[in-house]
Chain A
Amino acid sequence: MPIDAANPVPPNFPRAVGPDQIPPHVPKELIRSVGLTMGPDFLAAPHDYMKKLHDEQPPIYYDVSPMGNMWHFIKHEDCLFGLRHPEFFSNEGATPFPRDPNDYFYFIPIEIDPPHHRKYRNIVDPLFCPAGVKQLEGLIRQRANDLLDEVEAEHARSGECEFTTAFGRPLPVSVFLDIMGLPQDMRDTFVEWAVQLLHSSTREDMADAMKKITVYLKGAIAEKKANPDDGVVSLIANAAPDGVPLSDPEIFGFVCFLFIGGLDTVFATLNNIWLHLARDADLRAETIRRMETDPDKVVEELLRRWSVTFSGRVVEQDVEVRGVQLKKGERVTFILPAANFDPEVFPDPLKVDYDRPRKTILAFTVGVHSCMGGHLARLELKICLQEWLKRIPNFEVKPDTHIEYRPGGVIGPEFLPLTW
């Protein structure tokens, strides 16, 4: 039965955790504990780890973890199949993000299965489609150059620049505030909240961040209802698909999801790419050269090579994939960075090759829930590469730096001190 987004109730799916809760139908040879996002191999070099999954694991395996047991899909073909068949792989209850059960809401549209999710996408798609985000191009370029002024000033002062705090984090937040119609003076506060929410080691810290975000967003929604403008918060707050205004939980769940979905992923993408550009002078030179002629190919290949996240679903009805039986209620994670390294589709997968034959990359997933911010992310990455490389074509990781990754659903270096 479709869920009623106006009257949300917490899902009640069983959650299997640990070796005592492996369903009896799972073949022994498919039971693994690969340490995704937590194990030492992952934390040492997460993207190398993603490639090694293909060498060391079967295409589909049942991962047993203290964070919850689930099926992992690593093949490109299987991820495409799963993400394109919501009748087998549902989004309901598949977003493992804690919410107050007494004030529950769905993340919209990610947790809404078709056909209902289209109602929500139609509200914002005109702004997030290629033609929509293109209107932001001049503004994004301005934001990037404003930050680059600060970056160069900091480098002149101290001889180094910590990329994540100076550029990787504030840039996407600035752009996010512009598109949402929220004031720029919230930039540093938003960065702080997002980092606290997504990178805290305690549940208390996360809950505290969530509380602050909730209070702010609810205030912003009320303000936009009173004084509509052309930003996304106002568009959602005042939307009335088929003449029916959205309810408060729908509005909040939609705006809150954009906050969570839109910030950390772009941070991490920039941070990963800049780390590798800093480490590899040949890649930098090649990137500068090819950005002149084929910026879209460069952006697509970098997004394939440094994809940052995963996609989760719950099995909606029993299904067999590649000879493996999956039962209703079991959880599946599509390991998108691994799918982008499937050697059958992307030979020599760790190599950055701007002339690869065109294939569907999974950085933004596929299917009806493919990332609504994908075009904005592509444009931001393109502009950042163009503007940064124009002003700072050569840069390196500060000598003797240990690059640290932390466990979590978004992959990227925590800090990246650069010198040039």
Chain B
Amino acid sequence: MPSVTYVEANGASHTVDVAVGENVMRGALYNGIEGIAGECGGAASCATCHCYVDPDWTEAVGGPADGVEEELLEATACPPTSASRLSCQIIMSDALDGLIVHLPERQF
């Protein structure tokens, strides 16, 4: 199973397995990782699963999935950057094995 490393704003790092087809938000919730709220449950409607994709991975992950995600990324609690994504919209694949995402200080 591919793994994802979540790096909290305080530097704490957690590497967990996330199944292919599962999204990166849910990977955090299932493993009790703080720093991702995901309170709408993955409907792309709340912007509380904001993450910054590590520079080594931005190309493989790509930009926002659609206009809805782009719009929501303007409403995140911590300032968005060009590496910002909603983690519920990043779907795990073998190509993303080893993915590193950085979590913002807060989600709301």
Contacts and interface: CB of A to CB of B under 8 A. Distances in A.
Interface of A: 80, 84, 115, 118, 121-122, 125, 128-131, 300, 358, 360, 366-368, 370, 372, 374-375, 378
Contacts of A300: 45
Nearest to A300: B45
Contacts of A367: 37, 39
Nearest to B91: A131
B: interface residue count bin: 10 to 19
Given A130-B43, A131-B42, A358-B75, 19 more contacts: A80-B108, A84-B37, A84-B39, A84-B108, A118-B32, A122-B29, A129-B26, A130-B41, A130-B42, A300-B45, A358-B45, A358-B71, A366-B39, A366-B46, A367-B39, A368-B39, A370-B40, A374-B41, A375-B41
A375 B43 contact: yes
Given A80-B108, A358-B71, A118 B29 contact: yes
Contacts of B29: 118, 121-122, 125
Contacts of A125: 26, 29, 41
A419 to B, nearest CB: 36
- Give 3 nearest A-B pairs by CB, closest first: A370-B39, A366-B39, A129-B42
Contacts of A115: 32
Nearest to B68: A358
A322 to B, nearest CB: 17
A125 B26 CA distance: 9
B20 interface: no
A84 B40 CA distance: 12
Q: Max chain B CB contacts within 10 Å: which of A121, A129, A300?
A: A129
Given A118-B29, A122-B29, A366-B46, A358 B41 contact: no
Interface string B19-58: 0000000100110100001011111011000000000000
Contacts of A121: 29
B37 to A, nearest CB: 8
25 contacts: A84-B37, A84-B108, A115-B32, A118-B29, A118-B32, A122-B29, A125-B29, A128-B41, A129-B26, A129-B41, A129-B42, A130-B41, A130-B42, A131-B42, A300-B45, A360-B45, A360-B46, A366-B39, A367-B39, A368-B37, A370-B39, A370-B40, A374-B40, A374-B43, A378-B43
